[in-house]
Amino acid sequence: MKYNLEKFKQGLADLSLTLTDEQLNQFITYYELLVETNKVMNLTAITEFDEVIEKHFLDSLSICRVYDFKKVSGEAGEVKVLDLGTGAGFPGIPLKIAFPEIEFVLADSLNKRIRFLQDVISQLGLRKIEAVHARAEEIARNKTYREQFNLCVSRAVANLSTLSEYCIPFVKEGGKFISYKSGEVDEEVEQAKRAIFLLGGKAEDIYKFNLYEQKRSFVIIDKEKKTPKAYPRKAGTPTKEPL
């Protein structure tokens, strides 16, 4: 099927991103796998091509406004990124396609989503990426993952205090946790500051922008010191009783 990629290419140009034909084809294959699998599994309510381009692909990549992936991918040493609560692979898969040399881990608590992502990874021929079936509270206790990432990202819908308890333990000192948010977030960030501090982080900045008709924000949190071993608390507690 022939797709009109003009909107996508314009959005990429706005982010100062240039993709090869192979990378563009990987996005198309990803879209087709997403829509096909969505017929039998609830992955997304958005399936029309232009909408997926805007609300999933370009939204995922818009983190380039606040984090210089080009710079870190050109530096010596391994750069590792965790996408927690990745769902159908957002933002992790679009970022991996755009920056193939960066190592990614995608984590989700639903195994059927992980099986879908493993299929995507295989069909797109992606390397240095794994999709892990696990709850955040469990793998945050695993030395393979705890405080091993330069960057943790999440588009998951959750209160920032809760999300910080899930995400900050994975970030190494000097790294960042960046949360994708919609709408107004100032009050939510203010209410989460105590939790962020307890977890070893500091809210550095809120970056607000419009993506087509949507109001979007990035909350950028610096990891300043190690997260106490008590966090994250046992399964369900961070959601029921935010710090």
Domain boundaries defined on the chain: 6-240
CB 56 within 8 A of CB 44: yes
Look at residue 236 and tell me whether its pLDDT is greater than 90: no
pLDDT at 77: 63
pLDDT at 163: 96
* Average of per-residue pLDDT across 16-28: 97
Q: Which residues pair with 205 in a beta bridge?
A: 220
What single-letter amino acid sits at 110?
Answer: L
CA distance 83 to 113: 13
Q: What is the pTM of this model?
A: 0.95
**235: how many CB neighbours lie within 10 A of its CB?**
12
Mean pLDDT of the chain: 94
CA distance 24 to 18: 10
* Average of per-residue pLDDT across 49-63: 97
Q: E strands along the chain, which residues?
A: 80-84, 103-108, 129-133, 149-154, 171-182, 201-211, 214-223
CA distance 81 to 54: 23
CA distance 104 to 163: 19
Which class in CATH covers the domain with range 6-240? alpha beta
